[in-house]
Amino acid sequence: MRTLLSFDIETVPDAHGIRVLYGLPENLSDAETVVFMQQKRRADTGGDFMPLHLQKVVAISCCMRKGASNVKVATLGSPNDTEDIILTKFFDIIEQTTPQLISWNGGGFDLPVLHYRGLIHGITAAKYWAMDGDFKWNNYISRYHFRHCDLMDLLALYQPKNNVPLDDMAKLCGFPGKLGMDGSKVWQAYTEGKIDEIRDYCETDALNTYLMYLRFELMRGALDGDEYANEINLVEQFLRDHNAKQHWREFLTAWGK
């Protein structure tokens, strides 16, 4: 069986980058810097969402399905790792295992953020960027190739007006959806030092994405009913094996398991 890797990232505003681009004094606090940028964004766009190149990655969580019966969900690195280390670990997984990537809006947000931030840090990701040889007709970059499956983009038939939030679709399919946090709360949690909570939240999004992919595989006939049930059982087993962690206990409860 090929290696599957569903993933999700969490980001905060890049205060250092904002100071560099807008000539702000280095002694201006991160909080003050972000308030400045939020006000500028509201004036320019009507909202305070940061441009992608100013989104600093603080967590990348992955659900990996590898081998005959192995499902694992984890956040890369440690809570104290710097952004360049987190990015390197993600692209190293691709270099070592050549997985099929699975995301929800990964083409619209997660991967472009990783591109810009990887460029800033000088990260090497040769296999990810490969577009010749074995990767000519199936690579991670081309929108209509399957080595990266952006489920949201695919299900919307590549029409942004048809996009649907992961939380909505997960809950409608009977999965837990988001638990206790969403992307709008990450910056506040980060300023309060709650990086562990952010990492836990990111893991639940990675697992929701994987569950949605299994349902998609059932819909398109790549899994039959028994195979789908077996894959769901493997996820449930992972959750039971790791129910010492609060977010996985909450996930099981929300799922009714």
Domains in the chain, CATH or no CATH each? 4-255 (3.30.420.10)
- The span from the CA of 154 to the CA of 71, in Å, is 24
Mean pLDDT lowest among 48-57, 61-70, 206-215, 242-251: 61-70
Q: What is the pLDDT of residues 61-83, one digit of tens each?
A: 999 999 877 899 999 999 999 99
- The span from the CA of 177 to the CA of 165, in Å, is 10
Residue type, 170: A
- The pLDDT score that the predictor gives to residue 207 is 98
Residue 226: strand, helix, or coil: helix
Q: What is the pLDDT of residues 247-256, one digit of tens each?
A: 999 999 999 9
Q: What is the mean pLDDT of residues 231-246?
A: 96
Is 81 within 8 Å of 25 (Cβ atoms)? no
- The pLDDT score that the predictor gives to residue 180 is 78
Q: What is the pLDDT of residues 80-107, one digit of tens each?
A: 999 999 999 999 999 999 999 999 999 9
Nearest alpha carbon to residue 208 among 171, 245, 242: 171
